């Protein structure tokens, strides 16, 4: 299964209302992906969430280095009315489901494959 690694707090935000993931590259991929919470933390993204009235956990409460859930990529757009869209390309997301128990995993750049032996640990 394909996965996408995001810094916190945006990995968290996908499971809390975020409907677009911004990238500087397009994708033709459509379908279910796993969201990986990377080791990184973006303080500017955190400030944006707070300024927009989103009730986010404290910076130290985010998890890093785990597969945390799944979401469908249903489109890739270059413009959108979504408040989450900042361009250049936006992966339109639907049906986010957070895992009950995160799975430790090392992320990679771009869309990447989760190893088959590890994917058996991914929850239904």
> pLDDT tens digits for 26-76?
999 999 999 999 999 999 999 999 999 999 999 999 999 999 999 999 999
Instruction: Give first-to-last CA distance, the chain, whole Å.
Output: 13
Is pLDDT at 121 greater than 80 in this prediction? no
User: What pLDDT shows up at residue 124?
Assistant: 43
Torsion 109-113-117-123 (CA) sign: positive
Specify if 10 maps to a domain.
yes
Residue 117: which pLDDT band, with cuts at 50, 70 and 90?
low
Q: pLDDT above 70 covers what percent of the chain?
A: 93
| Lookup result for tokens 């390309």 | 89
38: domain range? 2-21+32-73+96-119
pLDDT band of residue 109 (cuts 50, 70, 90) is confident
- Of the candidates 54, 60, 65, the residue with the CA atom closest to the CA atom of residue 7: 65
Mean of all residue pLDDT scores within the chain: 92
- How many separate domains does the chain show? 1
pTM exceeding the 0.85 threshold for the entire prediction: yes
In a domain, 44, yes or no: yes
Q: Does 124 map to a domain?
A: no
| Mean pLDDT of the region 93-120 | 85
Q: Which of the 8 DSSP states describes residue 10?
A: H
């Amino acid at each position: 299964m394909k996965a996408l690694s995001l810094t916190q707090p945006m990995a968290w935000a996908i499971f809390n209302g975020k409907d677009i993931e911004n990238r500087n590259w397009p994708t033709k991929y459509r379908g279910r992906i796993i969201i990986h919470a990377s080791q990184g933390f973006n303080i500017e993204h955190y400030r944006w969430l707070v300024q927009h009235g989103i009730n986010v956990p404290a910076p130290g409460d985010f998890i890093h280095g785990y597969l945390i859930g799944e979401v469908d990529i249903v489109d890739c757009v270059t413009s959108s009315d979504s408040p989450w869209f900042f361009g250049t390309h936006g992966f339109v997301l639907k049906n986010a489901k957070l895992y009950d128990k995160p799975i430790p995993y090392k992320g990679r750049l771009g869309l990447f494959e989760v190893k088959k032996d590890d994917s058996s640990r991914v929850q239904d």
